[in-house]
Structure 1
Amino acid sequence: MSSEVITAEPVPLSGSWRELLRGRTGLLVVGLMLLEFATAMQYFAVAVVMPLVAHDLNAERYYGWLIGSYGMAMIAAAPLTPGITARLGRLRAAGLASAVFIVGGLLAAVAGSVAVFVIGRVLQGFGSGVLATFGVSAVAHAIPERLRKHVYSLVSAVWLLPAFVGPVYASTVSSLLDWRWTLTLILPLVLVGRALVVRRAGMFAAEDTRTQTPPFIRVLILIAGCLLVLVGTSVKSDVGQIAAVCGLVLVAVAARRLLPTGERGPRLAVLAMLTLTLGYSGLDAMATVIARRGFESSIAQASAVLTCDAVTWSTVGFLQAKFHERWHLSTGGAGVLGSLMVAVPVAALPVMLVAHLSSGTAMPLMWTVFLVSGAGMGFIYTNLPVTAVDVRDASTTDAFAAGLVLAESMGASLGSMIAGGLYSYGLQRGLSAPHSLALAVTALAASLIATVFIAFAIRRQLRFKI
């Protein structure tokens, strides 16, 4: 593997943007930005066309599988990545993951059944999970700590343009051609971004991880739990609900064994990423349903909800360094502020849903909720990766990077499955759509409130560390 390693140019420690963006380190940052842009475009494309996919493949009953399979595969990929990298080397592992992602995307685009579409999304999720770990690990290895916030600020800012272009692209291509072309035409952009990251994957030397054994049994238990949740929320019986609860228990047990242990600060950051993405990604997955079925809005009004949180998230994330300087915010303080800005507005949504507000009143309030909570994500989301890889023992950096990706993918997948499952459960029990949605959003808000308490614990830990 030594032939694959290229010594990275040393980055001066003054923290300027010019220093960050020059040389081989600059190429890594550009690759990560392009990759994030492609990821954002794909996110909005999938969010817009998924109802069309469900209708075309007659898969409304299996909506949880359609939106949860990608995240479930990312869950499996994250803990396996260190072992895969140790066996294949960084370049070959990253190249293989890119190929798996593209093949999965093509398979999903040509799918004639829900089973084939889910298989394609599983392949995409696995490849994306491996490469996401590379991105976090590359930043930790190649870029000094004081420059890392700049990287995550840039990555957040990249979402600004797709927030406007993504929904328009997806709806236009789907109308003129088909949802299959919407998913296919985005793949070359994804491939270019991933190719740049793959080329730079060998620019830093990895710690010796050849003694690591991939935790196959724990991953199998985790996937079994996710499958039980998906199956349980897809059937209309009490047995299904019991299966879903058992699945959540299995997921909790496996996650406890898979998430990294060690230093308290990084460990809390990984846990916060899990609860944060469970609540917020689940909310994002249900946003258009809340707008359409909960508040009876138009399609245009519902699409604007996703744009609201993406715009403020990316803007605040990009300008976060200035906020830190102007308001004298510490990393822990920014995390607490962000968690409160996310949790408090979302906690108001269930009240709005059961209040039977008119669309004219509810939608401006919903846009405000997503504008404020998106800004909060800009504060907390960009700080968690910095805290997670700020470890005393450099040999644990890759483990915490993989743990962070695992926590994020697990939270996103579980949030979608739990929210969708509770919504279906409410409808099956005779509740109205707004009340069923209120039940789902209450569970998501509880996860976000838990994030607030973890953020306070992280702030105390960082103060103690100093």
Structure 2
Amino acid sequence: MTTASATSVDSGPTPPDETDPGGGVLTGRYRALTLGIVSVVLLLAFEATAVNTAMPVAARQLDGLPLYAFAFSGYFTTTLFALVVSGQWCDRRGPLRPLFTGIAVFGAGLVVAGAAPGMWVFVAGRAIQGLGGGLVIVALYVVVGRAYPERLRPSVFAAFSSAWVLPSIVGPVVSGAVTDHLGWRWVFLAVPVLILLPLAVMGPALRRSEREQPVLKGAEFDRRRSRLAAMAALGAGLLQYAGQRLDLIGLLPAFAGVALLVPAVLGLLPAGTLRAARGLPTVILLRGVAAGAFFAAEAFIPLMMVTQRGLSPTLAGLTLTSGGLSWALGSWLQGRPGAEPYREAMIRWGFLLTAVAIAGAALVLVPAVPAWVAAAAWGVGGIGMGLTVASVSVLMMKLSTPEDAGANSASLQMSDALGNVLLVGLSGVLFSALGGGSVAAAHGGAEGSGSVGAFTVIFLTMTGVALVGALLGGRVRRTA
């Protein structure tokens, strides 16, 4: 494939199945490693659920509602660059260094965001978080590809999804209580303390696993790929900035963003990704389509519940809890014995369920519809995403050679980040253009004055994107 890293390994890693001692991900040699890497996902999950709950309050108090979407998409913009760096770093030296470095940078971004005096500094903190998150997530995927046999990888990805269960339940409650009584800043400033637990749990297990792997050759970084990654991040940032201006002056950064982003994406993703070529290119593409549609809608659900239905930050955040719980269920289902022949069907049904969920959440904009309908709809969407994302990840690993594991994992995560950047950014443009940026603060059950039309257009657009994903789901397997 064209995006394979320029690095290599001594005769390639030994396929894990050849030395597989049997058992599950929580037995024998895999127990400590599984607990370690899942603890990292647990940290990322808690941060995400806490931020979703606190974000509407933070944006209002920083007078930054017009930049609301930017606070989410800014994270994924810098992730675009970090993903490529992490993929090459992992292929060259193994996943330990990018993993630990990413956790440290992620924590630094939380501190910057929590101490931000204004919305632009807050967005900068989120961007720093994106750098750390990009390093971490690729490293985790490489750990799975190098340390686990193929038969256990669906279970590992299911464990990743299960790690969202506790944060989905506890995160909104804790974050909402902290936001109400101590202020939204402490939601960000307190999370870095939780970094100490994953570091303590995963360190020995990861080092022991890495010692068992072949020694990687010290090839240089592919500077061309690094430049393309920087171009993609800069281009995405310019497009987001242009979308916030919505005037003739904004056309200049918009054109510059497109000129940077398009060739960068073509050079970084597998050949045929943008035209949904069969096999790995479509697998990579669908990750971005799924993530972009789901998370673009999810970013606006708490704001909708606060401004349109008068819910508190805690209750608005809890609306998303059902999605975290059911995501774990969907991921568990795809990892059951005998599920492998149905990968394609699970991906297509996953997209259909996601489309139903996004459209269902939009029904809450009708005053006669109970607010709990949004939570019920998001539970359906979680099942769909669990089926889709885990199945796509399994197929990516199956279609990758050991030497390409880091590069393909980076491509998969880049597609995820790019889908978020473009579709969350598009949602932000629609939100501002249709009057959503003038949403008033809402407390004590008083309904906000935001534009119902802005929310409606966002949800219907993302429903359409999810349906496109369902149509493309049949192209994940190569033709015979």
TM-score band, normalised by the shorter chain? Answer: 0.7 to 0.9
398 and 31 in structure 1: CA distance in 2 versus 1, 3 angstrom threshold: same
296 and 329 in structure 1: CA distance in 2 versus 1, 3 angstrom threshold: farther
Moved more, 33-42 or 86-95: 86-95
Q: Say whether the 8 Å CA contact 1:266–1:390 is kept in structure 2.
A: no
What residue is the counterpart of 1:339 in the other structure? 351
What residue is the counterpart of 2:190 in the other structure? 185
What residue is the counterpart of 2:342 in the other structure? 330
Q: Say whether the 8 Å CA contact 1:34–1:193 is kept in structure 2.
A: yes
Q: Quick check: 1:139 aligned with 2:144?
A: yes
Q: Quick check: 1:163 aligned with 2:171?
A: no
SS of the residue aligned with 1:382? helix
What residue is the counterpart of 1:54 in the other structure? 59
What residue is the counterpart of 1:25 in the other structure? 30
C-alpha offsets along residues 154-213 of structure 1, whole Å, 9 cap, x if unaligned? 111121111110011111122332322221222132343256555516343365471541
Q: Say whether the 8 Å CA contact 2:103–2:136 is kept in structure 1.
A: yes
1:236 Cα offset (Å): 4.4
Distance of 1:364 and 1:274 partners within structure 2: 28
1:303 Cα offset (Å): 2.7
What residue is the counterpart of 1:224 in the other structure? 234
Amino acid at match of 2:109: G
154 and 93 in structure 1: CA distance in 2 versus 1, 3 angstrom threshold: closer
What residue is the counterpart of 2:304 in the other structure? 290
Q: Quick check: 1:63 aligned with 2:81?
A: no
Q: Say whether the 8 Å CA contact 1:295–1:362 is kept in structure 2.
A: no
Q: Say whether the 8 Å CA contact 1:8–1:25 is kept in structure 2.
A: no
Distance of 2:236 and 2:400 partners within structure 1: 34
Distance of 2:372 and 2:58 partners within structure 1: 29
367 and 427 in structure 1: CA distance in 2 versus 1, 3 angstrom threshold: same
SS of the residue aligned with 1:361? coil
Q: Say whether the 8 Å CA contact 1:57–1:114 is kept in structure 2.
A: yes
1:401 Cα offset (Å): 0.9
Match of 1:265 among 259, 265, 279: 279
1:326-405 correspondence runs (5 A): 330-347=342-359, 352=363, 357-358=366-367, 360-391=368-399, 393-405=401-413
Q: Say whether the 8 Å CA contact 1:9–1:23 is kept in structure 2.
A: no
C-alpha offsets along residues 362-405 of structure 1, whole Å, 9 cap, x if unaligned? 53433332121111112111111111121363211111111111
7 and 334 in structure 1: CA distance in 2 versus 1, 3 angstrom threshold: closer
301 and 109 in structure 1: CA distance in 2 versus 1, 3 angstrom threshold: closer
Match of 1:304 among 306, 311, 318: 318
157 and 15 in structure 1: CA distance in 2 versus 1, 3 angstrom threshold: farther
Distance of 1:158 and 1:115 partners within structure 2: 31
241 and 443 in structure 1: CA distance in 2 versus 1, 3 angstrom threshold: farther
Distance of 1:457 and 1:275 partners within structure 2: 14
1:106 Cα offset (Å): 2.1
Structure 1, unaligned runs of 5 or more: none
Distance of 1:282 and 1:166 partners within structure 2: 20
Number of aligned positions between the proteins: 451
Q: Quick check: 1:210 aligned with 2:219?
A: yes
What residue is the counterpart of 2:244 in the other structure? 234
Moved more, 335-344 or 258-267: 258-267
28 and 454 in structure 1: CA distance in 2 versus 1, 3 angstrom threshold: farther
Q: Say whether the 8 Å CA contact 1:97–1:127 is kept in structure 2.
A: yes
C-alpha offsets along residues 218-257 of structure 1, whole Å, 9 cap, x if unaligned? 1232122212222123224244367557645743442222
Amino acid at match of 2:47: Q
SS of the residue aligned with 1:442? helix
Report which of the two has the higher share of helix: 1
Distance of 1:85 and 1:304 partners within structure 2: 36
Distance of 1:422 and 1:248 partners within structure 2: 19
What residue is the counterpart of 1:452 in the other structure? 470
245 and 165 in structure 1: CA distance in 2 versus 1, 3 angstrom threshold: farther
Identity across the alignment (%): 23
Structure 2, unaligned runs of 5 or more: 1-7, 439-448
Q: Quick check: 1:100 aligned with 2:110?
A: no
With normalisation by structure 1, the TM-score equals: 0.86
Q: Say whether the 8 Å CA contact 1:274–1:407 is kept in structure 2.
A: yes
Distance of 1:65 and 1:404 partners within structure 2: 22
438 and 77 in structure 1: CA distance in 2 versus 1, 3 angstrom threshold: same
SS of the residue aligned with 2:78? helix
Distance of 2:163 and 2:130 partners within structure 1: 21
Amino acid at match of 1:412: N
After superposition, the CA RMSD in angstroms is: 3.3
Q: Say whether the 8 Å CA contact 1:86–1:209 is kept in structure 2.
A: no
What residue is the counterpart of 2:445 in the other structure? none
1:98 Cα offset (Å): 2.6
1:68 Cα offset (Å): 2.0
SS of the residue aligned with 1:330? helix
Moved more, 180-189 or 146-155: 180-189
